[in-house]
Chain A
Amino acid sequence: MPSNVFLVLQSNDDTRAIVDAIEIDNPKATITRQPAMVRIDAPNRLVVRRETVEEQLGNPFDLQAMHVNLVTLGGNVEEDADEFALYWDN
């Protein structure tokens, strides 16, 4: 059974496009909206792609700006300029 990785973001105007992009790029992700925050779970791997966020946003986006709205996460992190990924190796 795969373990879930997860990402929790503050629920606000900045993160709406990020959550939409995650939904597009991760068909297996489950999105749960809680008071003031959004939780995204996915089996084994979850990616946030800069290009998809930019399409949703209609503006350039620096993936590191996600730091401002991060609440918590679970999984190993791998980040470069184009993609932020969470994964488990098991």
Chain B
Amino acid sequence: MDTKARQPKLGLREKYRLLTRDLGWDPTYQTRETLYPYAEYEGIKIHDWDKWEDPFRLTMDAYWKYQSEKDRKFYAILDAHAQNNGHLNITDARYLSAIKLFLQAISPGEYTSHQGFSRAGRELPGVGTQVACQMQALDELRHAQTQIHALSNYNRFYNGFHAFVQQRDRMWYNSVPRSFFDDAMTGGPFEFVVAIAFAFEYVLTNLLFVPFMSGAAYNGDMSTVTFGFSAQSDEARHMTLGLESIKFLLEQDPANVPIVQGWLDKWFWRGLRLLSLVGTMMDYMLPKRVMSWAEAWNIYGEENGSALFKDLARYGIRKPKGWEDASKGRDHISHQFMLGLYQWSFGTAFHGWIPTDEEFAWLSEKYPDTFDRYYRPRWNELRKLAAAGTPFKNYGLPMLCQTCQLPCLFTEPDDPTTLCHREVEYKGERYHFCSSHCQEIFDHEPEKYVQAWLPMNQLTQGTSGGGGLENWMKYVNLVDGQDNGDFEGSQDQRNFAQWKHNSVSNQA
């Protein structure tokens, strides 16, 4: 039986003080410098760590309480999904290409974030920050686990889910998210926090999760909606901490401003390139569309981003350098990327396809200035080739950008008919880039990016299975004819049709 507490409940502020500040201490056996060896080399100056405060004032006891509640909700729905043939309630098996891509590209990134925040929590000297980083590290671990758990229900029935762990390390397109998170993790603790908590979580995460979750809801995917909402409830806190961290750094010392601005320029562009995967998914992979990438960019990029940078202007912070080019690319990137994925679909652990007439109409309505003019003609040509029984496959290896690791397939910001390509020579080697911004990132830290593990280069060096397409497929755990290729005629397509039919008839 519950006993009524006699003492009045602690106020939120007092409780926060006791359960964060009061847990810290001043070291006496060791100096602060030996305890926190990475706190200064990035050039960030902090004078008073106590000024850092979590605006939610979340303490560990409340954290456990609400997180366990979130997990209980999540598992109740996950069980219902498994018990009620949830895998058949999606609009079309084609939808799962988006989910396969999510599991291979994003979920491992959640795990890497978990590692990164554990490290930041250890290396940043402020106790408030340590507590917040610890919570976020646990959140990210929970996200990785719940995503893998939720999607394991699809793995029982559909192809392309079985090897996401190996594919995270070996599959060419997964080197894009992997290099993004590895790049952040190998920065100092302050850069990591600015990169992930602010540039990614605050400025860009809405573009990833909100349209993705509505997409899942529109397409009958109860399991993804559930893990998405469960994760997103943590993201709102991460975003707030990200913004708070930035304001804290900027308020502590004017010398921090140019350093932070440099990180914002870099990480906004890195994040935006990563999200071209999401734009492609929204515009092409959802059988039932929610909103276009262009619309999402307008709401969550343009509108919210402008409000945010207006707010930060008083510190001397301006919009990231790549902002204008991001807006210029808004109506192009998803089309250019999907055209790439289609011609390389023999080498992807999800299916590609040519959009239907109905989808052409949707794309042309959402992209009135670009689709009919630049992209419909190319799709029409691909259609013709497919109809003639000679579908276009590009067996050449695409040149990858040394920074973002995407194929160099985007066009010049001011000319959608010219491929954008930059190159620089560094210590006798030539390096290629998809954009001026990616080149600038390289120029700033060449010794870091010359070490990039580029899957195409590895392939020609014979380190990825020993050479040849067949060996490469074994190396990346890709089952040819099942996981890859066109959705039209795939096993996923046949099975889904058969199972849907069986579910409303009495045939065995």
- Do A and B originate from a single complex? yes
Residues of A near any B CB (own CB < 8 A) = 3-6, 8, 10, 34-37, 64-65, 67-81, 88-90
Which residues of B lie under 8 Å from residue A8 when comparing CB positions? Answer: 210
Which residues of A lie under 8 Å from residue B66 when comparing CB positions? Answer: 64-65, 67-68
State in angstroms the CA–CA spacing of A67 and B304 once bound together.
Answer: 21
Q: Are A72 and B313 in contact (CB under 8 A)?
A: no
Q: Are B57 and A37 in contact (CB under 8 A)?
A: no
In the complex with contacts A35-B217, A72-B210, A89-B314, A77-B307 CB distance below 8 A: no
Q: Are B210 and A76 in contact (CB under 8 A)?
A: no
Per-residue interface assignment for chain B, residues 280 to 312, with 1 indicating a CB less than 8 Å from any chain A CB and 0 otherwise: 000000000000000000000001101110110
Which residues of B lie under 8 Å from residue A73 when comparing CB positions? Answer: 236, 239-240
From B56, B225, B307, contact of A36 by CB (8 A):
B225
| Chain B 1-25 residues near chain A, CB threshold 8 A | 11-13
How many residue pairs, one in A and one in B, have C-beta atoms under 8 Å apart? 93
Task: Tell me the dominant secondary structure on chain B's binding face.
Answer: helix
State in angstroms the CA–CA spacing of A64 and B314 once bound together.
Answer: 30
| Chain B 32-76 residues near chain A, CB threshold 8 A | 55-58, 62, 66, 69-70, 73
From A68, A74, A80, contact of B13 by CB (8 A):
A80
Which residues of A lie under 8 Å from residue B307 when comparing CB positions? Answer: 3-5, 74-75, 88, 90
Q: Are A90 and B225 in contact (CB under 8 A)?
A: no
State in angstroms the CA–CA spacing of A22 and B206 once bound together.
Answer: 22
From A4, A64, A78, contact of B58 by CB (8 A):
A64
Considering the complex, give the chain B residue whose CB is closest to the CB of A62: B62
Q: Say yes or no for B232: interface residue by CB 8 A criterion.
A: yes
Which residues of A lie under 8 Å from residue B247 when comparing CB positions? Answer: 76
| Chain B 207-237 residues near chain A, CB threshold 8 A | 209-210, 213-214, 217-218, 225, 229, 232-233, 235-237
Nearest-Cβ distance from residue A73 to partner chain B, whole angstroms: 5
Which residues of A lie under 8 Å from residue B257 when comparing CB positions? Answer: none
Nearest-Cβ distance from residue A10 to partner chain B, whole angstroms: 6
Which residues of A lie under 8 Å from residue B313 when comparing CB positions? Answer: 90
Q: Say yes or no for B450: interface residue by CB 8 A criterion.
A: no
Q: Are B217 and A68 in contact (CB under 8 A)?
A: no
Interface centre among A67, A68, A73 (most CB of B within 10 A): A67
The 7 listed contacts between A and B (C-beta, < 8 Å) are: A3-B311, A8-B210, A70-B236, A71-B213, A71-B229, A74-B307, A76-B243
